[in-house]
Structure 1
Amino acid sequence: MKILQWDHNGFWLYYRRLERGNFHWPSDNNSGPLKISPRQLRWLLDGLSLEQKQAHPVVTARTVI
């Protein structure tokens, strides 16, 4: 997988290859670009499906005193 990102004055090229298996790219992408969250991007880069049924809920940082 290659990701091209513009960063103010130039491009970054990210390249990721799985040691085993394939990326679980969504097959229903007929409506244009796919918008995913940073969390879903991490799942995709780890070789997981974007539709995680048993994912942990999102944790928001809070200050506990």
Structure 2
Amino acid sequence: MLTLSPSQRVYLACGSTDLRKSIDGLAALVQEGFGLDPFSPCPFVFCNRERNKLKILYWEHNGFWLFYRRLERGTFQWPSDKERTFNVSSRELRWLLDGLALRQQQAHSKVTAETVI
């Protein structure tokens, strides 16, 4: 089970990715294609063209995790932005995995409390 802290960065690879790639291919894509460090403690999430499969590449301590999710019905609301990667919060990743849009209109916005009194 992938457990993320609320402050942890999550990177989505916008558009579609060939999910026949395994750990080495996805790590090379992160490093060469996106200019990011695949050994950073950040999950990198990839989606196929049909938007019904996801892979999450994640480095932990001394090895990579590769999580795979296939939907039997429906699709993920995957961003097709022109940017190569898209940074989201762990909360937004949970929304995406649950089939919701990244930008929830009805979600409570984050409040940064300054004082109690």
TM range (shorter): 0.7 to 0.9
- Tell me the secondary structure at the aligned position of residue 56 of structure 1: coil
Within-5 A mapping of 1:1-65: 1-28=54-81, 30-58=82-110
CA–CA distance in structure 2, aligned partners of residues 56 and 47 of structure 1: 18
Which secondary structure state, in structure 2, belongs to the residue aligned with residue 35 of structure 1?
strand
- Report the aligned-residue RMSD: 1.9
Percent identity between the aligned chains? 66
- Which structure exhibits the higher relative contact order, with contacts defined as CA atoms closer than 8 Å and separated by 6 or more residues? 2
**TM-score by structure 2 length?**
0.45
TM-score in terms of structure 1 length: 0.76
The amino acid across from 1:32 in the alignment is R
Number of paired residues? Answer: 59
**What is the CA–CA distance in structure 2 between the aligned matches of 1:17 and 1:58, rounded to whole Å?**
31
The change in CA–CA distance for 1:16 and 1:58 in structure 2 (over 3 A counts) is farther
In structure 1, C-alpha distance between the alignment counterparts of 2:61 and 2:110, rounded to whole Å:
30
List per-residue Cα deviations over 1:4-51 (Å, max 9, x = no partner). 1011200111111223210000122x2221100000000011111101
**Which SS does the other structure have where 1:53 is aligned?**
coil
Q: Could you tell me how far apart the structure 2 residues matched to 1:23 and 1:59 are?
A: 28
- Partner SS for 2:87: coil
> What stretches of structure 1 of length at least 5 have no aligned partner?
61-65
Whether the 8 Å CA contact 1:18–1:47 is kept in 2: the answer is no
